[in-house]
Chain A
Amino acid sequence: MTVQSSNPTPSCFAGDNLLKNKWIDRFLRSRWYPGIIQWPTLFIFMVIMFQLLLGPATAHDNLGTALTWVLWWPLIPIIFLFLGRFWCAICPFATINDLVQKFVGNNRPVPRFLKKYGIWIIDASFIFITWSDHVWGVVANPVGSGILLLTLTTGVVASGAFFERRMFCRHLCFLGGLAGNYAQAGMLSLHATPEICAKCTTASCYKGTETVPGCPIFEFPRTMSSSANCVLCGDCLKNCPNGSIQLTLRPPTKELWFVHKPKVEAAFLAAVIMGIVLVQNLTMLDVWGSALSWLESVTGTTSYYVNFSITFLVAIILPVSLLGWASFVATKYNNASFADNFTRFGYAIIALDLSAHIAHNLFHMLAEGKSIVYTGLALFGVPSHGASAALVSTPVIQMLQFGLVGFGFLGSLYIVYRIADTYHQDEVVWATFKPYAILMGGLGILNIVLFTLPMSMRM
């Protein structure tokens, strides 16, 4: 069997190879990597689970809630931006998957329907979990958060027990879609050198060797054209006998300037994430109470399920519809189909998604950051006496939020320009650019307006 080599290194991967630095190279090749980070993370995860389920009943005093929703959740998009999907390499769920698999794994192949529709299941589960957080108060209730983590644990235990590699991480994890999108905007990229791979006859990076397993996420570096599903676990680096693997730094969003094979589900998710960020902001604002009262008078019911679900649906449909509108307008100028425009340019929202997502969570991390210390000290009987949990003042946080959204907006605009420039020529580029620029401007302004309003805390 031979395997065709892919094209020369795509431009999105170009950059200095960090593995030329012998310390980085040694660390990533070491048998201690990623275990040296993985196992402490698993230990912290156990502490979090213990706290959530058996610790203080209120979120305000629960270390598990603080570590999960004030530290981890805000850090996640920041990690994706700087380190791609590195988190997935050290994620405790992945460790549990591997552990169960090692002892009792049945190693069955991934069901075909998951390969085909997995990303839609991921999108749906992400939407469902976000919705359920609001209607069932997952974040506000430590036991609720605990149940969410236990459910995910059961998912990875089943996946590790019955299926090969990390099937759950690749095809079912609710964060997978978001992680894939954000990792493409990330600054760190692992990839193979096509010229070297062309002469390879072992495919050890994918198959694995006696000592190191093959890629846990079913990626084949030789044909990998995106960072969406590379978790930077280093297994391919350790397995490759030819030194083909490179690790490069690149400007944020560079991979989005030209997506090799754009997928409609990723573009759709990009728009959905924007809607979710908007609804997350809205429901934490003081005006949410008034908005809810108005909605109750319109719908004639005080059911939070009904009224929030309507709000949630509108928030999700809004950016998707706006992307649809911009794509429809663009078809008038660039002769591409609506579906092609929607799919290609949907990726441009990712930059704004990422910046707005970080900006929203920055509030929780910086305005409630000390709660991690307070709830931790409370375990040892040290009271906090109601001291402020803020790390910096609200105006500073708002300035950072505005700056982030500004960068995200510029990033999205530039991606739109690059995509338009890739597929079209001359004046068609600018004609295509305009509706999407209006879309990004509208979404950017909406985020800025929401960030100017006072927001409530998670803890």
Chain B
Amino acid sequence: MAQITRLKWLICGSVISLLILILPGTAPAHGVGEGATVKVDGYQVSLVFAEPAKTGGNPLHVHILNGAGMPVRDAQVGISAMPIEDWRQHQKSMESGAPMGGMQGMHGMNHGSVNTMPDMPDMPGMGAMPTAVTSNELPGMGGDYVGAVTFAAAGHWILNTHFSINGRMLNAAFPVDVAKDSTSFAILAGFAVLNALIIWVASQNKRKAVIAEIPGEVV
């Protein structure tokens, strides 16, 4: 009887622990994935996510048209991202002419990742913002550039697209709402169900401990 009560406590405790773990992360769940278009110095720049932006890796397309509506080929395209609060502070710093640090402050810009963007300053207040972007022009599809961006956290971000055309450097900023990736919840829930099932099956067959065979030279 006492064992059954303890089992109930164990199950209740597990469910409560799981809820405590999951609930705080489930609130922000809206991502804007359709993309947007911005006009910069006569160029029309479109940013399209393959799926609604979420934490983790996100494939994306950048499409650039010139003033005549023709695709722009051979542009050097790079993308950086930062939380919108940091971007606003950065804008203020730029306006006030405050000195900037070097590239070393950028999270996610270290080893291993190819990055076509120019050196970014180390912005004050820059928190968790690792982004690694590769951006290559798709073969046979002029003006269409493909890449990927990694968001560390959910929230409002600014994606800054840099592209170099005929030696001119241009920027286009896109606000993006990043949702929490729900895959982790699904994984956690899957494992939780599996473990609960194992425990339930075992509870139906519980028996007393037996003394295992003693290893060694028994005579």
Contacts and interface: CB of A to CB of B under 8 A. Distances in A.
Interface of A: 1-4, 6, 46, 50, 53-54, 56-58, 60-61, 99-100, 103-107, 109-110, 143, 146-147, 150, 153-154, 157-158, 161-162, 164-165, 203, 206-208, 214, 218-220, 222-223, 378, 381, 383, 385-386, 456-457
Contacts of A383: 125-128
Contacts of B215: 218-220, 223
Nearest to B123: A385
B72 interface: no
B157 to A, nearest CB: 12
Contacts of A50: 21
B209 interface: yes
Nearest to A164: B212
B59 to A, nearest CB: 15
A58 B107 contact: yes
29 contacts: A50-B21, A57-B55, A57-B151, A58-B108, A58-B128, A58-B130, A60-B107, A60-B130, A103-B203, A104-B199, A107-B210, A143-B184, A146-B184, A150-B188, A154-B198, A157-B195, A157-B198, A164-B212, A206-B212, A207-B211, A207-B214, A214-B211, A218-B212, A219-B215, A220-B214, A383-B126, A386-B105, A456-B110, A457-B110
A206 B210 CA distance: 12
Nearest 9 Cβ contacts at the A-B interface: A386-B105, A223-B216, A161-B202, A456-B111, A57-B55, A58-B130, A57-B56, A104-B202, A61-B128
Contacts of B187: 53, 143, 146-147, 150
A58 B184 contact: no
Given A3-B219, A58-B108, A103-B10, A386 B130 contact: no
B188 A53 contact: yes
Contacts of A60: 107-108, 110, 130, 152
Nearest to A458: B111
A104 B7 contact: yes
B65 interface: no
A115 B187 CA distance: 32
A50 B20 CA distance: 10
Interface in B84-136: 101, 104-108, 110-112, 122, 124-128, 130
Interface in B184-202: 184-185, 187-188, 191, 194-195, 198-199, 201-202
Interface of B: 3, 6-7, 10, 17, 21-22, 24-25, 55-56, 101, 104-108, 110-112, 122, 124-128, 130, 150-153, 181, 183-185, 187-188, 191, 194-195, 198-199, 201-203, 205-219
Given A54-B24, A109-B210, A157-B199, 8 more contacts: A54-B22, A100-B202, A103-B199, A104-B203, A143-B183, A146-B187, A208-B211, A457-B110
Contacts of B201: 161
B218 A3 contact: yes
Given A165-B212, A386-B104, A56 B152 contact: yes
Most chain B beta-carbon neighbours within 10 Å: one of A57, A164, A457: A57
A4 B17 CA distance: 49
A385 B128 CA distance: 9
A57 B209 contact: no
Nearest to B218: A3
Nearest to A1: B218
A87 B186 CA distance: 31
Contacts of B153: 56-57, 61
A380 B62 CA distance: 35
A92 B218 CA distance: 34
A208 B214 CA distance: 12
Nearest to B127: A383
A132 to B, nearest CB: 16
Contacts of A457: 110-111
